[in-house]
Chains A and B, each alone.
Chain A
């Protein structure tokens, strides 16, 4: 299939717990990076502060889905 998503995703669903933690850790790393760079006056830091949104936005959505999934599993 001409899709970059599927098979490797299928192969790792079984270890979903471990990989979701990595996604959350990377999100935390990017958020810390954004916080640190937003305080700086330099042009590069300002650029980085903006560009980390490229990673933060989708990982935040992933985080919300992870939380929803956990809550759903507890309710069940």
Chain B
């Protein structure tokens, strides 16, 4: 049974089970906490959930409604003659909360709603039951509305980021950078206007995409050795990624910063050698160093691993993927982030590389979801770039 059906037919125990499962995956999802509040079977538990919502999203109107409802509920519980009404079953017509049509899948169309515990009269029961249903309806509809609007908005932003990047790398870097700058400002303003955290998280994390280009082109790099560019550009971007993660309430393990299962992660990391080889065949870049000796390799290698491998995995598979998968679901979230990742590689002027990077983005994203850690993909990413720029140009001529 899925959540919608469980809520529709009043199977609150099942709904709670699904919601708890969802909460383990997305512990900061406001709608899940709200639904848990509205489907609780005691006012104390409900109050705990609504308080949690207010911690995550202070002033949330539905949580404040919920707390008022909890107070009324407690008041009813403290009244006398509770027992006489307890046994009276209350039935309501089950309707689909999205379409308004009669619910399908229920064994009967007239079903008891669970929240009749302790209510004094049948009128109270019906009233409070309707309150619960209205609360649940509001949350589910607001979540559905938020998701729908956000997806449309996100597609517009994705198109604009693509156009800005194409303008930067193919036609006019100055105009392209202006476009990226305006997109950054727009995303920050727009994200701040969203009351729902899901919308905020997606837009603020997406702001990192134009910011990457803005920072990478604004810093004067011509006086520095090529491989130091990554360090100079990467350090400020690390700060931005950290700020987004902090403001969005992501903890280190939420964005995959965990060492669990490290032997398997090392094996994933070794994939980078093969990926580096394939990309070398596509791009055939010149080496970053003059000679293939350890004294020349270690520093650029370290910089590449930390400031391309770790940084980009924190941004894309860590912060951005967490925000998008939580809000859009695994398939759409992975797809969206992988497209953004690929778009920022338009500068290589290679369709094959674009396809390759998109595929790598999907693969890294899937691995991160599967193992809940970016350790392996960080090593794979760093090793890909290490082999591509420091090893294969000397091995394959």
Contacts and interface: CB of A to CB of B under 8 A. Distances in A.
B240 A57 contact: yes
B31 interface: no
Most buried by A among B204, B219, B312, B360: B219
A74 interface: no
Interface in A22-76: 22-26, 29-30, 33, 43-45, 47-48, 50-55, 57-59, 61-62, 65-66, 69, 72-73
A55 B212 contact: no
B223 A4 contact: no
A66 B220 CA distance: 6
Contacts of A2: 275, 279, 308, 312, 345, 357, 360, 381, 384-385
Contacts of A1: 279, 283, 285, 308, 348, 384-385, 388-389
A5 B229 contact: yes
A26 B347 contact: no
A7 B169 contact: yes
A12 B174 CA distance: 9
Given A1-B285, A1-B385, A19-B218, A8 B237 contact: no
A22 B213 contact: no
B173 A61 contact: no
Nearest to B238: A58
A7 B347 contact: yes
Chain A interface helix/strand/loop/mixed:
helix
Given A15-B174, A19-B218, A47-B192, A54 B223 contact: no
Given A5-B229, A15-B174, A58 B184 contact: no
Contacts of B283: 1
B308 A11 contact: no
Given A51-B188, A58-B240, A62-B236, A26 B216 contact: no
Interface residues of A, number: 46
B211 interface: yes
A47 B247 CA distance: 10
A5 B214 contact: no
Given A2-B312, A8-B217, A9-B233, A26 B184 contact: yes
Nearest to A61: B236
Chain B interface helix/strand/loop/mixed:
helix
A48 B191 CA distance: 8
B185 A29 contact: yes
A43 B347 CA distance: 39
B229 A26 contact: no
B229 A51 contact: no
Contacts of B58: 43
Given A9-B217, A69-B223, A51 B192 contact: yes
Given A15-B174, A69-B220, A4 B229 contact: no
Interface in B17-55: none
Most buried by A among B59, B214, B312, B348: B214
Nearest to A58: B236
B188 A48 contact: yes
A15 to B, nearest CB: 6
Contacts of A4: 212-213, 216, 312, 341, 344-345
Contacts of B234: 5
A26 B181 contact: yes
B217 to A, nearest CB: 5
A19 B207 CA distance: 19
Contact of A54 (B173, B207, B275): B207
Interface of A: 1-9, 11-13, 15-16, 18-20, 22-26, 29-30, 33, 43-45, 47-48, 50-55, 57-59, 61-62, 65-66, 69, 72-73
Given A2-B357, A55-B211, 10 more contacts: A2-B360, A4-B312, A5-B212, A7-B348, A8-B169, A11-B173, A18-B174, A19-B174, A57-B236, A57-B240
11 contacts: A1-B384, A5-B234, A8-B217, A8-B346, A9-B229, A11-B169, A22-B174, A22-B218, A29-B185, A51-B204, A55-B207
